[in-house]
Amino acid sequence: MKTPMQKMMRRIHGLLFKLPLMITCDEFEGFILAYLEDDLPPRQKFVFETHLKVCRECRDYLAAYRTSLELARASYRDDPAAPDDMPEDLVKAIVAARKADG
Amino acid sequence: MMAVARRLVGDEALAQDCVQNAFADVFRGLDGFEERSRLSTWMHRIVVNQGLMALRKQKRLQEISIDDLLPAFDQNRCRIEEQWISAETPESLMQRDQTKDVVLSKIASLPENYRIVLLLRDIEEMSTSDVAQTLQISESNVKVRLHRARSALKMLLEPLLRGETS
Ligand SMILES: [Zn+2]
């Protein structure tokens, strides 16, 4: 399945990620959510983006992760009632009626 | 309200029950409401809670295990990810007829603990702390589940994203 060349490249990748300011792919995985929510301190953000530059696998993975999230949001978006369309008037009327009741 | 319930429980009759119960809760709770938050936010929360209760009662059988849907790494801790040759944009994918149905059915097939977090955070747009409160789990647990749910969904949607028919 994998040529010796590809195997060697992967091993080099693995070694590269041991250098200072480098993280492995599984460490990268643990930072994704915080990165997308802009919750990473500057240094970790730099480390994350550096990994993204040197790692084709994580770049592809993150792009597909974002696309599928976008699709999930879009698939629900044309739902007839978004959370904001609650019948505010109706509830206000009910509140008023209850108050009148005592 | 019906849409919120339907998204959570995925069943029309059950969703109707949830909305009815939610209205009962709304009536009962009105005295305690006092404009603390927007009415719509408050009612949204009530429907969500009703939906969760309904799901808890209705134990779902044979779910896929989340472990089978998480990303893979080799012994060098490097990611195993097939190359993406052409990446379509969400916009162009949404233009196709089946996309929405496929996406909704894949979300429905996620293990429940993960699906609920994904729905509440990404679709209902509740905050991490609100979701933690509603589900009575820690915020870090919400984050872990949200990330796993998104990863799992990405894997389930791969055939669609790669333009393979399935
Ligand atoms: Zn990587």
Model confidence at A10: pLDDT above 60: yes
The single residue listed with the structure tokens 């009662």 is B57
Q: What is the pLDDT of residues B57-71, one digit of tens each?
A: 776 656 778 988 999
Model confidence at A82: pLDDT above 50: no
Q: What is the pLDDT of residues B63-98, one digit of tens each?
A: 778 988 999 999 889 999 998 887 788 999 988 888
Q: Give yes or no: residues B24 and B86 share one domain.
A: no
> Domain ends where: B60, B76, B104?
B60
pLDDT, residue B121, reads: 96
Q: Quickly state the pLDDT bin for B53 (edges 50, 70, 90).
A: confident
Q: Answer whether B60's CB lies under 8 Å from B112's CB.
A: yes
Q: Give yes or no: residues B19 and B97 share one domain.
A: no
* Ligand 1 geometric centre to CA of A27 (Å): 9
Q: Give yes or no: residues B87 and B149 share one domain.
A: yes
Q: Give yes or no: residues B87 and B147 share one domain.
A: yes
pTM of the prediction? 0.78
Residue B148 corresponds to which amino acid? R
How many CB pairs lie under 8 A apart between chains A and B? 141
The nearest alpha carbon in chain B to A27 belongs to B77
Q: Give yes or no: residues B69 and B33 share one domain.
A: no
**Helix, strand, coil % in chain B, rounded to nearest 5:** 65, 0, 30
Q: Which of B7, B19, B41, B76 to mutate to test the interface with A (most CBs of A within 10 A)?
A: B76
> Domain ends where: B44, B60, B76?
B60
Q: What is the mean pLDDT of chain A?
A: 82
**DSSP 8-state assignment for residue B160:** H
Taking the C-alpha atoms of residue B149 and residue B111, their distance in angstroms, rounded to an integer, is 8
Q: Give yes or no: residues B130 and B70 share one domain.
A: yes
Q: Quickly state the pLDDT bin for B23 (edges 50, 70, 90).
A: confident
| Cβ <8 Å between A71 and B103 | yes
Residue B166 corresponds to which amino acid? S
Q: Give yes or no: residues B55 and B76 share one domain.
A: no
Q: What is the pLDDT of residues A19-56, one digit of tens each?
A: 778 899 999 999 999 999 999 999 999 999 999 999 99
Q: Give yes or no: residues B70 and B45 share one domain.
A: no
> Domain ends where: B60, B83, B109?
B60
Q: Give yes or no: residues B70 and B142 share one domain.
A: yes
Residues from chain A that touch B26, judged by Cβ atoms under 8 A, are 91, 94
> Which residues of B, range 71-110, sit inside 8 Å of A by Cβ?
71, 73-74, 76-84, 87-90, 93-94, 99-100, 103-104, 107
Model confidence at B131: pLDDT above 90: yes
Q: What is the pLDDT of residues A53-77, one digit of tens each?
A: 999 999 999 999 999 999 999 988 8
Q: Answer whether B147's CB lies under 8 Å from B122's CB.
A: no
Model confidence at A90: pLDDT above 70: no
Residues of the domain holding B39:
1-60
* Among the partner residues B79, B99, B122, nearest to A73 by beta-carbon distance: B122
CATH of the domain at B70: 1.10.10.10
Q: Give yes or no: residues B85 and B46 share one domain.
A: no
Residues from chain A that touch B99, judged by Cβ atoms under 8 A, are 71, 75
Q: Give yes or no: residues B163 and B145 share one domain.
A: yes
| Cβ <8 Å between B157 and A68 | yes
The nearest alpha carbon in chain B to A95 belongs to B30
* Ligand 1 geometric centre to CA of A16 (Å): 11
Q: Give yes or no: residues B56 and B71 share one domain.
A: no
3-state SS, one letter per residue, for A14-29: HHHCCCCCCCCHHHHH
Helix (H) or strand (E) holding B73: strand B72-73
| Cβ <8 Å between B84 and A25 | no
| Cβ <8 Å between A95 and B89 | no
- Split into its structural domains, chain B has a count of 2
Taking the C-alpha atoms of residue B145 and residue B116, their distance in angstroms, rounded to an integer, is 9
Q: Quickly state the pLDDT bin for A79 (edges 50, 70, 90).
A: low
Instruction: For residue A14, give both structure tokens.
Output: 């693995």
